[in-house]
Chain A
Amino acid sequence: MAGSQRIYRQRIKSTQSLKKMFRAQELIAASRIGRARDRVSMAAPYSRAITRAVSAVATHSNTSHPFLVERDDTNRVAVLLIASDRGMAGAYSASVIRETERLIERLEHEGKQVVLYVSGRRAVTYYTFRGRDVEGSWTGHSDAPSTDIAGEISEVLLDAFRAPADQGGVAEVHIVFTQFVNMVTQRPRVIRLLPLEVVEGVEPADDREQLPLYEFEPDPAVVLDALLPRYVRSRIYASLLQAAASELAARQRAMHTATDNAEDLIRTYTRLANQARQGEITQEISEIVSGADALASAS
């Protein structure tokens, strides 16, 4: 009986220190999420400007570009998975990986061969543990991605898309990331990045207000050539930022729940410990009383 009381006290102590850790993680995530959301909105003007420019070129010239046409010379397709570097974010990494698995299955069902690129240590370990090939990986930036890392990723993906079929070229590039809807909802999303399909119908207002007839300097092809890589990079950067905000929101919520659960556990253990202590006292009293009784009846 005396042993169980000690065990409960130990459990309370360890749960308390866990609770402190959860609480700290929650506060850290909460303090960073504001900045992450600001970064999402700060990147918006750039991507808006670039989208408008791309659609202007697409509507006013019939210039084609390798990024705009479907490739049918290879059945390899690239998938970029954006997950987190650290855990403690509930189902965040798991759900985006699950979405990726579903996409891979669908693509393989269509007879395509998937080449995997991953960002975030959790996803890297998921695939290396299962012994599956990862073509490229980036880690160490998942909660605060920089434009440099977005540039690096887009460089690699664009190179893969530009490469000829016999040198590991890919016909499509997909991105799986988590879209930040609001603080409580983050949704895994799949977008097809290349070949670009967004150009048509980017601006539904086209019918009413005609886009002006642009003069292209030096000519539409050069402009498009300069625009599209930037467009791709800005899409990747936007996905990374969305994923970062989602990760922090998921972590904050998961850690909040963990703190609550720790509190519940502490309460339960405290009650059990009290009960054990009371049981011990009762037992001692009954031992003393029965001892006294025995002495009284003996005399």
Chain B
Amino acid sequence: MATIEVDLVATDGKVWSGVARQVIAPAGDGEIGILAGHTPVLTVLKPGEIRVYAPESGEPARFTVEGGFLSFDSNVMTIVVDEVTAGPTTDATAR
């Protein structure tokens, strides 16, 4: 199965890096889900939650971000965020 290489970087360092089957991120126009082979995309992120699904396990890794952007091409994804905390978004900040 095709996978995506994901790098999640913040201003002061790399936060997370690994392979994923699918990544769901809060894009400017609403949530965007990206699978391997997606067309190259460069999108602005709103505050919200990023979910990274590893190839095997069902439970995604969750990160709460305060905006940033995401670029994806040839199955390499770079998510650049301003502020990030690991863990699911609480209801108060979810959009």
Contacts and interface: CB of A to CB of B under 8 A. Distances in A.
Q: Which residue among A56, A147, A213, A214 has the maximum number of chain B CB atoms within 10 Å of its CB?
A: A214
A203 to B, nearest CB: 13
B71 A46 contact: no
A162 B9 CA distance: 28
A42 interface: yes
B43 interface: yes
8 contacts: A46-B10, A53-B69, A214-B40, A214-B41, A214-B42, A216-B43, A218-B29, A223-B44
B12 interface: yes
A223 B42 contact: yes
A147 B80 contact: no
Given A46-B80, A217-B32, A217-B43, 14 more contacts: A42-B14, A45-B7, A53-B78, A57-B42, A214-B40, A214-B71, A215-B41, A216-B42, A217-B28, A223-B42, A223-B43, A226-B69, A227-B69, A237-B11
A277 interface: no
Contact of A49 (B9, B12, B43): B9
Closest 10 interchain pairs by CB?
A: A217-B43, A42-B13, A212-B40, A212-B73, A226-B44, A45-B9, A49-B78, A215-B41, A147-B11, A214-B42
A39 B12 contact: yes
Contacts of B14: 42, 45
A71 interface: no
Contact of B71 (A39, A45, A52, A237): A52
B65 to A, nearest CB: 13
A237 to B, nearest CB: 6
Contacts of B43: 216-218, 223
Interface residues of A, number: 29
Contact of B73 (A39, A214, A217, A226): A214
A129 B23 CA distance: 56
A147 B42 CA distance: 24
A39 B12 CA distance: 7
Contact of A42 (B12, B39, B67, B78): B12
A227 B78 CA distance: 14
B22 to A, nearest CB: 17
Interface string A92-133: 000000000000000000000000000000000000000000
B11 A46 contact: yes
B44 A213 contact: no
A222 B73 contact: no
Interface in B5-54: 7, 9-14, 27-29, 32, 39-44
